[in-house]
Amino acid sequence: MIKFLIKASYTPAGVAALHKVGGTNRRQVIDTMVAGMGGTVKAFYYTASELDAYVIVELPDLITAASMTMSINASGMVSITSTMLLDPEEIDKAAQMQFDYRAPGS
């Protein structure tokens, strides 16, 4: 499973719809959607900042994440971006890998 940080920003129409159905309803909808994709929602928070919500999900693969992002953005009610998250143990493994790299201009 791959973890993703989802950053969401509602459109004005999305905010109006959220006002009608409430935050708990949206959380339940997202939980059901992600479970149907073979994943889980790890955290879901609304914010009082430039973005409206932060959600951490675990999804089976990158294709599933891309499909979810495209489907949600296509709704026109919310715009999301997703960032893959790595835990410290994954960074430890990455740090052990060695590659030949030549910096630009060197």
Q: Which CATH number fits the domain that encloses residue 86?
A: 3.30.70.920
User: Distance (Å, rounded) from C-alpha 24 to C-alpha 32?
Assistant: 12
Band of the pLDDT at 106, cuts 50, 70, 90?
confident
- How many CA atoms are closer than 13 Å to the CA of 12, on its beta-carbon side? 0
Is the whole-model pTM more than 0.85?
Answer: yes
Is 90 exceeded by the pLDDT of residue 11? yes
Look at the chain and report how many structural domains it folds into. Answer: 1
Domain that holds residue 66: 2-96
Is 43 domain-assigned?
yes
Is 105 domain-assigned?
no
